[in-house]
């Protein structure tokens, strides 16, 4: 029995976390083309938001084989709805609300995973508005008809432009894209057109926007109705 006890102690020593081992869980993401990182929280994120989580281990050698667990827990719950078993993992957040992403590490099948640290990711509720005018006159100001820039957490988007006779002139699915005021490569006449937008937010909200679009060929700047 003494020999078995010594063997168990030896195994526990072999598979416990080495004193020199360290981890620095970090979330990496991009906003408006800028690469960002945090070890704490992402607040007011806009869906869809792709985040890479890295354990960033240090002090390990070939004799140490950590087992990684990234646990994703939604606010108001205690159970993980997703667990990833890898040193690094990437996840696309598509739903509004808060998720706590925690890194657990264990050293051996018989050891309990140890909580290293947690990162909180909060995705904002959705918001979408379309302007009522734009001035595609080539002056570099308000030349493209698109969703207003303060849109948030829109995960599905499809917009259509029609003329007064119901003919479809243009459509686009990239929320940051838009219409340049042309049809078949030629500028449309100044006047009133119509936009139909079908969209869905990360919070489940559905948008069905229908409104007039004024094409102002001779306008130069400062038209409030067309500001984005």
Q: 3-class SS at 67? A: strand
Q: By C-alpha distance, which of 151, 192, 160, 191 is closest to 178?
A: 160
CATH number of 18-123: 2.60.40.10
Cα 187 to Cα 190, 196, 217: the distances in Å are 9, 20, 9
The domains of the chain are located at: 18-123, 133-226
Q: 3-class SS at 62? A: coil
Cα 7 to Cα 13, 109, 201: the distances in Å are 10, 16, 57
pLDDT of residue 59: 85
pLDDT of residue 20: 60
| Stated pTM of the model | 0.81
Q: Tell me, which fold does domain 133-226 have in CATH? A: Immunoglobulin-like (2.60.40)
pLDDT of residue 16: 53
Instruction: Dump strand ranges (E) for 55-167.
Output: 57-58, 67-74, 82-84, 88-93, 97-106, 114-123, 133-134, 154-162
Q: Which residues of the chain have pLDDT under 70?
A: 1-20, 109, 219-228
Q: What is the pLDDT of residues 18-51, one digit of tens each?
A: 666 799 999 999 999 999 999 999 999 999 999 9
pLDDT of residue 90: 98
**For residue 52, what are its two tokens?**
């890479």
Instruction: Say which residues have a Cβ less than 8 Å from residue 56's Cβ, sequence separation at least 6.
Output: 23, 24, 25, 26
HEC-encoded secondary structure of 3-46:
HHHHHHHHHHHHHCCCCCCEECCEEEEEECCEEEEECCEEEEEC
Beta carbons of 191 and 185 less than 8 angstroms apart = no
pLDDT of residue 208: 98
pLDDT of residue 220: 56
**For residue 135, what are its two tokens?**
């001035």
The answer to whether 18-123 and 133-226 have equal CATH topology is yes
- The C-alpha atoms of residue 131 and residue 32 are separated, in whole angstroms, by 21
């Amino acid at each position: 029995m003494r020999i078995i006890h010594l063997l168990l102690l030896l195994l526990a020593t072999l598979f416990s976390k080495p004193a020199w081992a360290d981890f620095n869980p970090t979330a990496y993401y991009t906003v408006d083309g800028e690469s960002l990182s945090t070890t704490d929280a992402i607040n007011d994120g806009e869906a869809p938001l792709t985040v890479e989580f890295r354990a960033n281990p240090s002090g390990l050698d070939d004799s140490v084989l950590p087992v990684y667990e990234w646990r994703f827990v939604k606010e108001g719950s205690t159970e993980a709805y997703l667990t990833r078993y890898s040193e690094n993992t990437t996840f696309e957040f598509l739903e509004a609300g808060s998720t706590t992403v925690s890194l657990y590490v264990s050293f051996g099948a018989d050891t309990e995973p140890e909580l290293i640290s947690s990162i909180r990711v909060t995705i904002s509720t959705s918001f979408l508005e379309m302007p009522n005018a734009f001035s595609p006159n080539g002056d570099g100001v308000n030349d493209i008809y698109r969703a207003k820039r303060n849109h948030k957490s829109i995960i599905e988007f499809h917009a259509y432009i029609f003329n007064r006779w119901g003919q479809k002139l243009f459509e686009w699915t990239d929320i940051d894209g838009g219409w340049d005021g042309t049809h078949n490569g030629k500028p449309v006449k100044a006047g009133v057109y119509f936009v139909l937008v079908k969209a869905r937010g990360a919070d489940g909200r559905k948008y069905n926007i229908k409104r007039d679009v004024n094409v102002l060929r001779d306008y130069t700047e400062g038209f409030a109705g067309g500001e984005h």
